[in-house]
Amino acid sequence: MRKLTLISAVLLTGSLVACTTGGGAPAATIQTIELSPASASVQVGKTVTLSATARDAGGQVIPDTAFTWKSSSETVAKVAGGVVTGMGAGTAGITASANGVTSSAATVTVTQAGPQPGGRFDLSLSGDKLPVVTGTSASLTVNIARKDGFTGAVSLGLSGLPAGASGAAVTIPEGQTSVTVTVSAAATAPHSQPTAVTLTGTATGAAPVTKTLTVTVRGPAGSLDTTFGSGGIAVTPVGAGEDVAYAAALQPDGKLIVVGSSVGGATSDDFAVLRYTRDGALDAAFGTGGKALIDFAGKADTARAVAVQPDGKIVVVGGATNAGNEERFGVARLTASGTLDSAFGTGGKVVTAFAGSSADRAAAVLVQPDGSVVVGGQASFGSSASGVDFALARYTPSGTPDAGFGTGGQLTTAMTAGSAADGVHALALQGDKIVAAGGEGDFKVARYSASGVLDAGFGTGGKVSSVFAGNIAAAHALVIDGQNRLVVAGHSQNDTAVVRLTGTGALDSTFGDGGKKVMALSAENWDAATGLAVQADGKVVLGGWLYEGNSSAGNFAVTRLNANGQPDAGFGQGGTTMTPVAPGSKADEARAVVLQPDDRIPAVRIVAAGVRNDSNQDFALTRLWP
């Protein structure tokens, strides 16, 4: 019995020993973290190293501890793995943490580099123009060249930014040669004029350096440019009655010429010529308060096209009614200040009748490099064999008929057999050849030699007369693009239509759908292009109008196509911007579109000109961001 008890005691003792001596020691718990040194100084662009030590409750060091480092102000100092880099003058607190325990902050004071007598630096920008779309940011690179022994960091700041724009200060650290400067515009920021902004670089021991850049807050492509007119729209009552705009042209200085008709102070319509500043205000230096009215014979006169000569003179053409109440080609030339040019025609005006025609109307004009003026329109012969035909006249720079063109300075062309209404709506130069576009029932285009002979190398016998199926179509605008192709815009079956022709008059199969693009901008109603421009990148801009729903009141419509003839989804809504210019459900229609470059931004904005109806009709313009 004693022997068994002894064995049990021995076993129990062994078990207790096993329980108290077996297994690993428990992990030490961090009680405190100490930083060394507790304070330090460092220059901008330089580094200083802090060390962290973790201790347990007994004060023993806990080795191999992984710390997380943090700076209270990263614009003053940044820290990684205990290495602190000076970013800008000031004071920052640096802490280290591990397992839920954080050290007391070590104070790091950052100073600019000490004086460097005679040292200097210069700055250069990757660009001096910075457009910023609302709700986004834009950046440029600032490069530094350190000279005469200067090696320090440079702080950069922006001043004079447009309202709603901001740019954070940045530092080019010692040893670094460039930095990115970013400007942001709030989504609600107002659009701005190109604004001169000052970038200033400062450093200890060197004189400050300033550079100027132009910052513009702009809208997305296809949005109204609210720096134009009033909220992107300019409306002008020319007289007390009905004022209708038909065409527009751009001067090299960015000013806009818009022409049409106005009753003015007389009892019948006159040519109305208005000039606007770049940003949509009437130009007081032109005519009378920005307006010039031209009367031919005391009857109804309507300007339908305009061209600006290289010398700044302005050629305006349209229909002028003579004393016998017959409408004829009316051509007037104004000086750059808006007065009739006495060196042209008779007192600045010319009226032309086509032989055998009962009525003539001019609707297009171009100025050739030698100063000759070519006018296109229609002549009415009132016969089932001919009807209304293309009519062209050319004048010398002094306004006399050019005997070297057609017959006695004029020609007519029946584009199709029968009594079709074939009027010229647009003209363009293709090398030394003259291209005319227009027609009713279909797009019709003719090309003439410099002397006015149909060019047999174009289309069929110089003419293209069958483009669209159906019997409702017309070409209203024409541009020769950078590859010598013809872009023609108008409508087909009451939908917006554009075609591109090769130099020989064939459909360009690389454009749209087999050379043509027809778009129902208004799914339930009518729409048409009446203006056209081609951007430097080949994109096609169409200006016109659309009726919404069951309404017969139009709205301005601007559509942009890619160079391949498909809608540009990055412009407006699916490629189109529709702008109601008239109040309520009243009508407004764009009749012309021009591209307005502004190298200060840089941007080439889109101006549409036409008519707005309220108590009566007035000239109206809108401007969109490209």
Q: What is the CATH number of the domain that holds 90?
A: 2.60.40.1080
The predicted model gives 319-326 an average pLDDT of: 94
**Which residues face 294 on adjacent strands?**
271
Cβ–Cβ < 8 Å for 317, 330? yes
Q: Which of 511, 609, 615, 493 is nearest to 229 (CA)?
A: 609
The predicted model gives 502-510 an average pLDDT of: 97
List, in order, residues 6 or more apart from 59 with CB less than 8 Å away. none
* Complete DSSP assignment for 391-426: EEEEE-TTSSB-TTSTBTTEEEE--SSSS-B--EEE
Cβ–Cβ < 8 Å for 231, 224? yes
CA distance 154 to 89: 11
The predicted model gives 70-78 an average pLDDT of: 94
Q: Is the pLDDT of residue 50 over 90?
A: yes
CA distance 274 to 276: 7
Question: What pLDDT shows up at residue 147?
Answer: 95
154 and 101 in a single domain? The answer is no
| Helix, strand, coil content of the chain in percent (nearest 5) | 5, 50, 45
What tens digit of pLDDT does each residue of 345-365 get? 999 999 999 999 999 999 999
CB atoms near residue 409 (< 10 Å): 18
Whether 580 is in a domain gets the answer yes
The predicted model gives 93-102 an average pLDDT of: 95
107 and 124 in a single domain? The answer is no
Segments forming the whole domain that contains residue 398: 371-466
What tens digit of pLDDT does each residue of 129-155 get? 999 999 999 999 999 999 999 999 999
Question: What pLDDT shows up at residue 584?
Answer: 82
Q: Which of 619, 616, 606 is nearest to 258 (CA)?
A: 619
Q: Is the pLDDT of residue 619 over 50?
A: yes
164 and 78 in a single domain? The answer is no
Whether 173 is in a domain gets the answer yes
The secondary structure element, H or E, covering residue 7 is helix 2-21
The predicted model gives 526-530 an average pLDDT of: 96
- 65 three-class SS: coil
Written as one letter, the residue type at 467 is V
- 19 three-class SS: helix
Whether 349 is in a domain gets the answer no
459 and 486 in a single domain? The answer is no
Least confident of 14-23, 260-269, 535-544, 582-591: 14-23
453 and 503 in a single domain? The answer is no
56 and 191 in a single domain? The answer is no
> How many residues does this entry show for the chain?
626
The predicted model gives 310-331 an average pLDDT of: 96
Q: Is the pLDDT of residue 265 over 80?
A: no
Q: Is the pLDDT of residue 2 over 50?
A: no
Question: What pLDDT shows up at residue 156?
Answer: 98
Question: What pLDDT shows up at residue 448?
Answer: 98
Question: What pLDDT shows up at residue 88?
Answer: 87
- Count of domains observed in the chain: 4
Q: Is the pLDDT of residue 5 over 50?
A: no
Cβ–Cβ < 8 Å for 226, 219? yes
Question: What pLDDT shows up at residue 419?
Answer: 66
64 and 129 in a single domain? The answer is no
101 and 196 in a single domain? The answer is no
